[in-house]
Amino acid sequence: MKTKHVLIIWGILFFPSTFIFSQENEMNASDSIKSTIENYYTLNIKIMGGSGTASDIDELFRLFTDDFVYVHEKYGGEYSRETLYNGYQNNLKRGGYDGSVIYIEVEKMIIGLNVAAVEKRFISKDKEGNVEKGAPEMTFFELRKGKIAKITEYW
């Protein structure tokens, strides 16, 4: 009978703390994923907004794993980290980031285990200074060890 009571007491003491510890870890992981994605969009706004530098691009790419992959079927399929990096640098050098993108509005973010689905839209201005909201777009992020391992665009 004593063994039964010890097991019950052990269960009461151990399992709630495990549950709380598990919830705290999930919240910390969720906050980390959200922060990483927010940093990704903040740096992209800076770069695309026309005030970005080569070092901003380097900072952006520090958010990615070494084997990072970018997938966008509508715009050519799959790009390696190196190909995407070179594309960013070339666009910067030739003035491709003209300041027309002024904000990326994240409307929804659903965070799962090392993944996030994001609904966002670009906010841009035309040559006359008129601001317009783009259509909603979906992006899926896969993370590994706190870094972005894959981005898949669905727009």
pLDDT digits (tens), the chain, 155 positions: 555 544 444 444 455 544 444 444 555 778 999 999 999 999 999 999 999 999 999 999 999 999 999 999 999 899 999 999 999 999 999 999 999 999 999 999 999 999 999 999 999 999 899 999 999 999 999 999 999 999 999 99
* CATH code for the domain of 133: 3.10.450.50
> Is the whole-model pTM more than 0.85?
no
Would residue 104 count as lying in a domain?
yes
For residues 63 and 148, is the Cβ–Cβ distance under 8 A?
A: yes
Of 79, 85, 66, residue with least CA distance to 153: 79
Is position 135 within any domain? yes
* DSSP state for residue 76 in the 8-state scheme: T
Please indicate, yes or no, if residue 97 is contained in any of the structural domains: yes
* Total of domains in the chain: 1
99 lies in some domain: yes
Sort residue 68 into left (φ over 0), alpha (ψ -120 to 50) or beta.
beta
Residue with tokens 């770069």: 47
16, part of any domain: no
Residue 51 inside a domain? The answer is yes
- By DSSP bridging, strand 137-144 and strand 77-80 are unpaired
Residue with tokens 């084997």: 67
Kindly state whether residue 49 falls inside one of the protein's structural domains.
yes
* Largest separation between any pair of C-alpha atoms in the chain: 83
Question: In terms of residue numbers, what domain contains 132?
Answer: 30-153
- Strands 131-133 and 137-144 come out as unpaired
